[in-house]
Structure 1
């Protein structure tokens, strides 16, 4: 190999802080958004940081480099390591790579897109109205937990096909399991057990209960004579076949159902809580949106949801892990074994990508498609497979909310960002005062 060729594989990492790894890690764990923003102001749209779990990591906030990363061959970069697969199980889409990931994604895409998703709109409206019957009127209350219950029930009906006692059991164990799993995904594996207070132990206990219930649901689906007429996603998984004619195993189905639940339950509910938090502080936007809903329109609602996701992204990072010797990103050459994180929050707050980014303005998306810097669902081959389902669910919930209630405008300060582990939620839970429409 010539000197010139050797230079081509010499790592060139972006600059970064020279603080001890422990200090960098503490800043990232305790104040992730603020730490990333501060490093971006100092080092620009690419920097290197040493953080817990992921080690020496390159963070980028440039749409060109992000697109370059997301379109890099899966033989050269894979999902970030570690990832949610360590919590959700080896059968989860998060844990699969290469050909296995492509096969599974092709299998799961049809039930989560197009006409199939629109079939679930009635279920979403029903669950919203069932939950909203008990909401307090004319006095502020936090919407995050009610939105969590709505999205959980929607998933249990549309994805799991759960009913009766099984539905009640899953309703009971899944919220704490998701909360614990979200925290576990952001902390290193501990070398020793902490006994009863060990979150891994609590998660494993609830996961065992989940497995028993789901195994029963899968077994019942396999012998259901009416299986072909069911439209829940569990039934579709049981019937689906890979290109070679093989079916998903029970373990794969259980892990994938949990993946759909975790990926689509907390994040969608959190975005809806942010939607309520944003709309009441922008009465002109709220009034225009309510008028459009009454008139049966769609354009401004779509733009508003897009702007909510831009201004309040609940997931702030999307990553890849380098498995090739060198991966080039812009002027940098990232060596094997490094993680590369795309900072969604920095891209969404970049004035070069979105004019006056601190202003909440759905008008910026009216009649236009979001550009490559808009990444609430990640990008590339690992873009959230449930994005269309989530968009439908947010649209139906907000539309039904505005038909049934009037949101009282508020002059209260914006709610702060609160980390729930993987997702960022409004610190006070998206508090709002509602009045019943007559």
Structure 2
């Protein structure tokens, strides 16, 4: 692919205003597609070394795309007007449904975020802390002592149970069923989310057929829960997310449709538990190998503080980035990004792991060092939740969840440390996790 030159007629007075798209990766389109789908972090890191912090790729599914590793330009992308950049196309609404916030842009997106915001701020989140602690204690009650085990799946169970209880408010047969069907769906969906659906029928036993069957079962279960909630005479007093969504209204007084609620609840369940669990899995992998950090966390925890624990969570999300991709689609005739002009129809992708490894923003970026975030404002180059109008609406919830889980475990367990080699980074389709599952050995305090 050759570098294109785009000239705006308004700029012809000065030849120096001519801009080009960024340099292009010179590999066949199918090869680039395989690298992006299966080896994304390696591909983005090495392409940035060769072509610089902004380069162009051409891949199946997303098409011509500009990849950004520079923190300042990444911020320019996240803060751009929604008239210029919309959500990346295609996006996760293929998995979560057309009523998901991922599918919306402009006024519709702003209106939906306004409806979704109340459960994820202030007192609402504080109401959920007891649920998080209860689920942590329930899961850790059977942890083995003195024997190495993987923490990733236990963390997945904690975060799934937390989101189910905070979304629906209580246990029951329907929630037991969702606990059964969501984990295999999440694993399957994460592997196929960035691959195109074939234009022909693939059969009920194919990945796409299985995803469609899950969706029918999920909708049927959620619609039953909605009917129960609407018949509950105490619905107005409930604080679960389903009750809050049923009671919410757009500015014109209309409620969300049941299908849109189901799409949003699947979005919360799908995007809200696995990423948090993956970060917690990395927490144990990192703490096992950093006794100084662990000792400081334990001392602070015993004294009732949380400043260093918060810094550790922030550093975990930087040093072991779980979601390393966020993107936009150029809706305007063009989008000026630094010295480049990106044409209409291109995607603009932020290589989050590359931004988190920027040496100017984060000196010695390979070092796991929570102290870099103590008594300092978190830099704009820290973007595990994205940024701007599309920043993850559950960011504050995820932070509280990780804080309470770590606080509870550190209170009840001693984590053994050693000099084991770092676990390799494993790509699960969307999230990056410890390859061995965050192995750790603990003893009860």
User: Is 2:168 the partner of 1:171?
Assistant: no
Structure 1 residue aligned with 2:317: 309
Structure 1 residue aligned with 2:232: 224
Which segment is superposed worse, 94-103 or 157-166?
Answer: 157-166
User: Is 2:159 the partner of 1:151?
Assistant: yes
2:242 alignment partner, one of 205, 221, 234: 234
Separation (CA, whole Å) in 2 of partners of 1:182 and 1:293: 35
User: Is 2:383 the partner of 1:355?
Assistant: no
Separation (CA, whole Å) in 1 of partners of 2:79 and 2:111: 18
1:21 alignment partner, one of 6, 10, 29: 29
- How far residue 10 of structure 1 moved from its aligned partner, in angstroms, is 7.0
2:149 alignment partner, one of 116, 141, 144: 141
Alignment of 1:9-408 (within 5 A): 12-408=20-416
Q: Aligned pair in 2 of structure 1 residues 254, 11: CA closer, same or farther (>3 Å)?
A: farther
Separation (CA, whole Å) in 2 of partners of 1:11 and 1:246: 46
- Where 1:119 maps in the other structure, the secondary structure is helix
- Where 1:401 maps in the other structure, the secondary structure is helix
Separation (CA, whole Å) in 2 of partners of 1:350 and 1:321: 24
- How far residue 11 of structure 1 moved from its aligned partner, in angstroms, is 6.4
Separation (CA, whole Å) in 2 of partners of 1:317 and 1:198: 27
Separation (CA, whole Å) in 2 of partners of 1:346 and 1:259: 26
TM-superposition CA deviations, 1:68-109 (whole Å, max 9, x none): 111211111100000001110010000011100000001111
Q: Aligned pair in 2 of structure 1 residues 351, 3: CA closer, same or farther (>3 Å)?
A: closer
Which segment is superposed worse, 198-207 or 183-192?
Answer: 183-192
- How far residue 128 of structure 1 moved from its aligned partner, in angstroms, is 0.6
Q: Is the 8 A contact 1:9 1:326 kept in 2?
A: no
Q: Is the 8 A contact 2:416 2:441 kept in 1?
A: yes
TM-superposition CA deviations, 1:303-358 (whole Å, max 9, x none): 00000001011000110000110100000000111000011100111111101001
Aligned residue pairs, count: 437
- Where 1:94 maps in the other structure, the secondary structure is helix
Question: Structure 2 regions of 5+ residues with no counterpart?
Answer: 1-8
- Where 1:334 maps in the other structure, the secondary structure is strand
- How far residue 159 of structure 1 moved from its aligned partner, in angstroms, is 1.0
Separation (CA, whole Å) in 2 of partners of 1:139 and 1:358: 29
- How far residue 8 of structure 1 moved from its aligned partner, in angstroms, is 10
What TM-score comes out, normalization by structure 1 length? 0.97
Separation (CA, whole Å) in 1 of partners of 2:284 and 2:345: 41
Moved over 4 A (4+): 5-11
Separation (CA, whole Å) in 1 of partners of 2:116 and 2:145: 41
- How far residue 252 of structure 1 moved from its aligned partner, in angstroms, is 0.7
- How far residue 30 of structure 1 moved from its aligned partner, in angstroms, is 2.2
Question: Structure 1 regions of 5+ residues with no counterpart?
Answer: none
Separation (CA, whole Å) in 1 of partners of 2:279 and 2:288: 15
Separation (CA, whole Å) in 2 of partners of 1:331 and 1:314: 30
- Where 2:398 maps in the other structure, the secondary structure is helix
TM-superposition CA deviations, 1:358-400 (whole Å, max 9, x none): 1100000000121111000001100000000000000000000
- Where 2:335 maps in the other structure, the secondary structure is strand
Q: Is the 8 A contact 2:11 2:17 kept in 1?
A: no
Separation (CA, whole Å) in 2 of partners of 1:160 and 1:33: 36
What TM-score comes out, normalization by structure 2 length? 0.96
- How far residue 414 of structure 1 moved from its aligned partner, in angstroms, is 0.7
Q: Is the 8 A contact 1:11 1:335 kept in 2?
A: no
Separation (CA, whole Å) in 1 of partners of 2:158 and 2:20: 48
- Where 2:227 maps in the other structure, the secondary structure is helix
Q: Is the 8 A contact 1:78 1:322 kept in 2?
A: yes
- Where 1:48 maps in the other structure, the secondary structure is strand
